[in-house]
Structure 1
């Protein structure tokens, strides 16, 4: 009996998407310019350019944040952290290019409402694989400006 791997993966994708991709995320190109305060969320947001994708997704933290050091070992620590996150989207979502801005625009009932309006920058193009059932993109949280 032959195994129908494409059918198995398609069915797995439906199950995974229905169980994990419960929130709405937006991929957009960076518009440039300084962060702008959004009084609705209380956050400073990077201006977004063209919307590349808006649909089902999930943002999850990866490993613990790390402090970045200057190139020269004798220099002080840089005052910026690398906050590692991942966004999961359906395989039908576009591949996010490096520096694509990812924003959580809605969360499921009972979800973490503090995610709405938070932004991340894609660190690399979305990952791919021949046996994937969802798309995975590595993110770095955009740090808040203005002391928030």
Structure 2
């Protein structure tokens, strides 16, 4: 496949230059109990593990999504589903694990600020293929807190 990989190198470069232009953060939520700080009397919670911070893109998943969306269990009706998105990252970025939280930390265009403040959960690990030009990871958008 060396010939094919060489042929696709230009596509990988184009995608990196033209699509992966925002800054993405991927973290795994901290696990483990908090620890008491005897000096202050406050609980110290473990930090989230930063898996990746770098170039990427978050895009709405189109009709060609290969997975079904899971109903949101926090609502009293089953017809409500989470919004499906796709995370695009460079091939040399680590594979985001299932359950990791994705945020857009900086956008290339001020008109794209609607991405800031939102978060998504990785619905599955990053997809893999024998021929790749960009890593794709399915996402479910987390609900924004309701205004009081």
Structure 1 Cα separation of the partners of residues 72 and 88 of structure 2:
29
1:31 corresponds to: 30
* Matched residue count: 126
- Higher relative strand content: 1
1:73 corresponds to: none
Matched position secondary structure for 1:5: helix
| Structure 1: runs of 5+ lacking an equivalent | 33-46, 71-75
Contact 1:30 / 1:100 at 8 angstroms: preserved in 2? Answer: yes
Structure 1 segments of 4 or more deviating over 3 A? none
Structure 2 Cα separation of the partners of residues 111 and 4 of structure 1:
40
User: Please, what is the CA RMSD of the aligned residues?
Assistant: 2.7
CA 1:25–1:48 in 2, change beyond 3 Å: closer, same or farther? farther
1:56 Cα offset (Å): 0.4
| Structure 2: runs of 5+ lacking an equivalent | 32-45, 64-68
CA 1:28–1:8 in 2, change beyond 3 Å: closer, same or farther? same
Structure 2 Cα separation of the partners of residues 78 and 135 of structure 1:
31
